[in-house]
Amino acid sequence: MASWITGNYYLSRTQMENNATILAEYFLSQGWTLNAIAAMLGNMQTESSINPGIWQGLKEFKGGYGLVQWTPYTNYSDWAGDNWQNNGNLECNRINYEFQNGLQYYPTSDFPMTAAEFMVSTETPEYLAQVFLNNYERPADRNQPQRSTQAREWYDFLQG
């Protein structure tokens, strides 16, 4: 099995593909659909370049951290315990834990899909990318159609 590429830097497309493959294998084994995984990857590409070791703005211990840019980073690190940095497998465990336990993901009026529905959804990756953006990431600027485009690209890559 491939190893995570991780560190406090932006990844190249080839490096992102490596990490996306590892992540997809994990979430498929947890019962997620490829559509939901691709939607999450479309968001992660923007958030972290699918890099579990990256800090927001490359500034260590400030702001967000990891694949989904947990903000503050202690939302992840306090839960993860020792060896939390540069640990893609542990970050995947955390995301799955959040979805299973009603943390971080909250349905909105525009996207009323629950976390349980999201994980097994066969809606398009483009639509699900917006669900993930609005219900999980919740950035100040939610008008980010490129996340949907990226989700489709990840879906096509993983289908490959």
55 - beta bridge partners?
A: 65
Q: Is 126 labeled as catalytic in the residue annotation?
A: no
Q: Which amino acid is at 124?
A: T
124 to each of 18, 28, 30, 71, 155, how far by Cα in Å?
23, 17, 20, 28, 9
Q: Point out the catalytic residue in the list 47, 91, 98, 126.
A: 47
Query: What are phi and psi for residue 18, nearest 5 degrees?
Result: -60, -50
Amino acid identity of 128?
Answer: L
Q: Which residues are catalytic?
A: 47
